[in-house]
Amino acid sequence: MYSTNGNNIPRIGFYICHCGHNIASIVDVVEVQKYAATLPGVTVSRDYKYMCSDPGQELIQQDIKEHNLNRIVVASCSPLLHEHTFRLAAEKAGLNPYYFHMVNVRENVSWVHDNKEQATEKAKDLARAAIKRVFFHKPLEKKTVQIKPDVLIVGGGIAGIHSALTIANAGKHVYLVEREPTIGGHMAMFDKTFPTLDCAACILTPKMSAVKSHPNITLWTYSEVEKIDGFVGNYKATIKRKPRYVNEELCVGCLDCIEACIYKEAKYPDEFNLGLSKRKPIYIPFPQATPQVVLFDPETCIDFKSHRCKKTCIEACERNAIDLKQTAKFEEIEVGTVIISTGFKTYDPKLSPQYGYGKLPNVYTSLEIERLVNASGPTAGEVVTRDGKKPESVGIIHCVGSRDEKSNKWCSRVCCMYSLKLAHLIKEHTGAEVYNFYIDMRTPGKGYEEFYDKFMNEGVHFIRGRVAEVTDWALVPEEENKLTIRVEDTLIGVVRRIPVDMVVLSVGLEPREDASEIRRMFNISCSSEGFFLERHPKLAPVNTFTDGIFIAGACQGPKDIPDTVAQAGAAAEALSLISAGKIELEPNTAQVIEKYCSGCKSCIPLCPYTAISFKEDIKKAYINEALCKGCGTCVAACPSGSITQNMFEDEQIFSEIEGLLKFAGIELEEKEVEHA
C-alpha cells in the first residue's frame, strides 16, 4: 500500500523547472517559486535547472521523506513527456503516484509567449490552479491484466509474413489470416525489386514456404476476421474461412484437376494477372502460391450453375481432395495482441480520364507492367502491347493519383523508384525508347539516387512536367496510330507532343477499400487520407491508440519493401508485451455509480471503445475498466451525473477552475478547504 504520509492534511511540494533556458528565459521561475511558497498547503517550494534529471527527481524524493510531503506539483513541460517520470519518482519515495500533478509551463507558456511579465503571471495562475487541485487528489491503484501469448496477424503481404516469422521464431504462436487464396501480397506480383534489382520471387517465396511449414504458425488463407472483441492481452476473434471446395489437408498442388477440367481452354480473367491472361474455373493463383492448394470459382464453374458437369476434375484427383459441398468454416481463437498488415491498393486511373485508361487499349497501369515483365507472367516476360506488337517507344507517367489536388495529395513514395525500375526492364526486354514524365524525382534512400543515376546514363529520357493528356488524335503523320503524350516540358518551357506505342501510368498507393471497416472492427484510427494512424509518427510508429493492436507495412502509409520490413518490427512490440506477460492499465477510468444510474443506456453507443455494457439483471450500465481509455465522453453525457472518472472528479476540476478564476480578477472567497 502507498502511504499518504501520515495524515490527509495536504503538505504540498511545488517544483518549477528552468528547463535550461527553455522556461527560465521567459518565465521568472524564482518569482513563481516564491509565490507558490505563499499559497495554502504548500510546505516546500523550489526551482531547479532540470527537474527531470536524476538529481531533480532525487530532490523530490528527499523532500517527501524529510518534509513528510503528501502532494507533489511539478511545473515543467508537457505531461506527455515526463508525467510518467515524476509519478515514478514519487512512487519510489513511497507516495501514491496519483498524488502527483503536472503543470505545463513550457509548451503552454514559455514557448508561446514573449512578454516576460505576463508569462510569469500566467505560470503563477497555472501553478495556483494545480495546487488547489491536488487538495482533492486520491490514491489510485493501477490494474494489471495478463497477456495471452498468441498473436493474430491480419494480412499476409511481406509485412505480415515478416512479422509472423519473427514472432514464430521467438517461440510464440501466430495465426496469420490472409484474405486471398495465397500469401505474398503485392510483392509476389513483381519480377524484380528496386533498388537492387534482385528477383522478387527468389527473396519472397522461401519466406512464404517458411510460413507454411513453421510449427508455430497457423496459416489461414482465403479467410477474414469476422469479429473481434476483448481488450489488450485478451482478445477473442472469429475467423471466417471461405470455402475453396478443396480440402486443404489433402490437396498437394499437383494441378491434375486443372488439366482435367472440361473447359479445355482457360476462359476467365485471371485475377492475379490483373485480367491480362485467362484461367479456368478451378485454378491456382500462380505457380508458387502458398499454400499450394487449388480453388474453385463458383461463379464460373458449370457444376455450381447447372449441376450437370461431368466432374472430370474429381475423377482426376487421386487424393479425393475436391469437395463441392464444402461450406464456410468459422474458427474461434484467443490472442493477446494483433498486428494489422493489410497493405494498400493502387489508384484507379479511370478517375483521371485525361490519361485514357480503360479507353485506349495500350495504356497500362504500372502493376500490369509488373506482370508483363515477369518471367512467370501472362506473356512469359515478353513486353507486347494489347495488339501483340513489341513497342518501339514507351512513356511512363509519374504521379497518377499522387501529389494531385484532384485525386490524392500525398506522395506515394515508391513510384519514382518503381518507374525507374520499369523503365530499365522495358528497355532491357524491348530495346524501346523510354520516356519518364515526372514532376520531381524523389529518390531518397540507401542506394536510390545511385539507381536513378544509373538509368539516366542508360539512355532513359526524363521530361519534367505533369502530363496534360494521353490521346489518340494525330496532329502530324508521325502520330498516326500512336498514343500521343501532351506535356509541358517545364525545363525548356515548351509544350511537347510525344508519340509512343505504350503508356504506363505510375499509379499511387491508397488505403484499401475496406480500411474504414477494419478500423472500426479493431477500434483503431485512420488519418485523414484513410491510412491507419500510428500512436506517434516518430516514437510509436507501429502502435495504435488501442493497446495490443499494432500496424505494420503499407496499411499505415505508402512504403517500399525495405521500410515495410523494418515496420514489421511491430512484431517486436508484440513480443515485448508477451514476454512481460502482463500490462498495467492507467487508472484514469470511469465508473458507474449504480445507486444513481437510471439505466437510460445513453452512454453505451457513445463510448468509442465499446467499454460500456448493460447489466440486464439490475438494469444498470457497466464499464469494463480494462477497455476504458478515460476519454470522459460518458461522464459528460450521463444525464443523471452517475458516471465519475478517476482523476477528473468534479471537485478536482472545480477547484482547479477556482484557482484559475482568481487570475481573471474574480477573487473567490477563500473557502475553508475541507481536508477530506
Partner 1 sequence: MRYLYYPGCSLKCTGRSYEESLLAVLKALKIDFVELNDWNCCGATAYMAVDESKAFAIASRNLALAEEQFKNEKEIHIIAPCSACYMVLLKTQNYLAHNAGEMKKIQSALKESGLSYEGKVKIRHPLDVLVNDFGLKEITKAVKHHLKGIKVASYYGCQTVRPLATFDDAREPVSMDELVRAIGAEPVDWPLKTRCCGASLTGIIEQVGLPLSYIILHEAAKRRADVVITACPLCQFNLECYQTEINKNYQNDLRIGVIYFSQLLGLALGISPKELGMQRLFVKPEGVYKAVKGGETVYV
Ligand X SMILES: Cc1cc2nc3c(=O)[nH]c(=O)nc-3n(C[C@H](O)[C@H](O)[C@H](O)COP(=O)(O)OP(=O)(O)OC[C@H]3O[C@@H](n4cnc5c(N)ncnc54)[C@H](O)[C@@H]3O)c2cc1C
Q: In the complex, which residues of this chain contact ligand X (CB under 6 A)?
A: 154-160, 177-180, 185-187, 190, 193-194, 224, 341-344, 346, 366-367, 370, 414, 418, 421, 512, 514, 518, 553-554, 559-562, 564
- Report residue 301 as a C-alpha cell: 464453374
Q: Tell me the DSSP string of 19-40.
A: TTTTTTTTS-HHHHHHHHHTST
Q: How far is the CB of 588 from ligand X (least distance, A)?
A: 32
Angle between helical axes of 116-134 and 650-661 (0-180°, round to 10): 150
Number of other CB atoms surrounding residue 175 within 10 Å: 22
The smaller minimum CB distance to ligand X, of residues 348 and 488, is found at 348
Q: How far is the CB of 354 from partner 1 (least distance, A)?
A: 5
The smaller minimum CB distance to partner 1, of residues 425 and 503, is found at 503
Q: How far is the CB of 405 from ligand X (least distance, A)?
A: 22
Residue 473 interacts, among partner 1, ligand X, none and using kind-specific CB cut-offs from 5 to 8 Å, with partner 1
Number of other CB atoms surrounding residue 104 within 10 Å: 22
Residue 344 interacts, among partner 1, ligand X, none and using kind-specific CB cut-offs from 5 to 8 Å, with ligand X
Residue 297 interacts, among ligand X, partner 1, none and using kind-specific CB cut-offs from 5 to 8 Å, with none
Q: How far is the CB of 223 from ligand X (least distance, A)?
A: 7
The smaller minimum CB distance to partner 1, of residues 328 and 475, is found at 475
Q: Tell me the DSSP string of 437-461.
A: EESS----STTHHHHHHHHHHTT-E
Nearest-10 Cα torsion for 519, 285, 350, 187: 70
| Positions that interact with partner 1 (CB under 8 A) | 352-354, 356, 359, 469, 471-473, 475
CA atoms within 13 A on the CB side of 627: 17
Q: How far is the CB of 320 from partner 1 (least distance, A)?
A: 53
Residue 359 interacts, among ligand X, partner 1, none and using kind-specific CB cut-offs from 5 to 8 Å, with partner 1
Residue 518 interacts, among ligand X, partner 1, none and using kind-specific CB cut-offs from 5 to 8 Å, with ligand X
The smaller minimum CB distance to ligand X, of residues 342 and 646, is found at 342
CA distance 506 to 500: 16
The smaller minimum CB distance to ligand X, of residues 445 and 499, is found at 445
The smaller minimum CB distance to ligand X, of residues 155 and 587, is found at 155
The smaller minimum CB distance to ligand X, of residues 160 and 587, is found at 160
Q: How far is the CB of 179 from ligand X (least distance, A)?
A: 4
Residue 475 interacts, among ligand X, partner 1, none and using kind-specific CB cut-offs from 5 to 8 Å, with partner 1
Number of other CB atoms surrounding residue 581 within 10 Å: 13
Q: How far is the CB of 399 from ligand X (least distance, A)?
A: 13
Q: How far is the CB of 559 from ligand X (least distance, A)?
A: 5
Q: Identify the CA nearest to 395 among candidates 510, 277, 489.
A: 489
Residue 665 interacts, among ligand X, partner 1, none and using kind-specific CB cut-offs from 5 to 8 Å, with none
- Report residue 42 as a C-alpha cell: 504548500
CA distance 248 to 599: 50
Is the CB of residue 161 less than 8 Å from the CB of residue 207? yes
CA distance 376 to 189: 9
The smaller minimum CB distance to partner 1, of residues 488 and 649, is found at 488
Is the CB of residue 133 less than 8 Å from the CB of residue 101? yes
Angle between helical axes of 200-213 and 158-169 (0-180°, round to 10): 50
Phi–psi pair at 628, nearest 5 degrees = -65, 135
Q: How far is the CB of 472 from partner 1 (least distance, A)?
A: 7
Please name the amino acid found at residue 357: Y
Residue 560 interacts, among partner 1, ligand X, none and using kind-specific CB cut-offs from 5 to 8 Å, with ligand X
- Report residue 143 as a C-alpha cell: 490494474
The smaller minimum CB distance to ligand X, of residues 518 and 585, is found at 518
Residue 143 interacts, among ligand X, partner 1, none and using kind-specific CB cut-offs from 5 to 8 Å, with none
The smaller minimum CB distance to ligand X, of residues 259 and 271, is found at 271
Phi–psi pair at 42, nearest 5 degrees = -80, 120
Q: How far is the CB of 512 from ligand X (least distance, A)?
A: 5
Residue 352 interacts, among partner 1, ligand X, none and using kind-specific CB cut-offs from 5 to 8 Å, with partner 1
- Report residue 193 as a C-alpha cell: 525489386
Is the CB of residue 89 less than 8 Å from the CB of residue 15? no
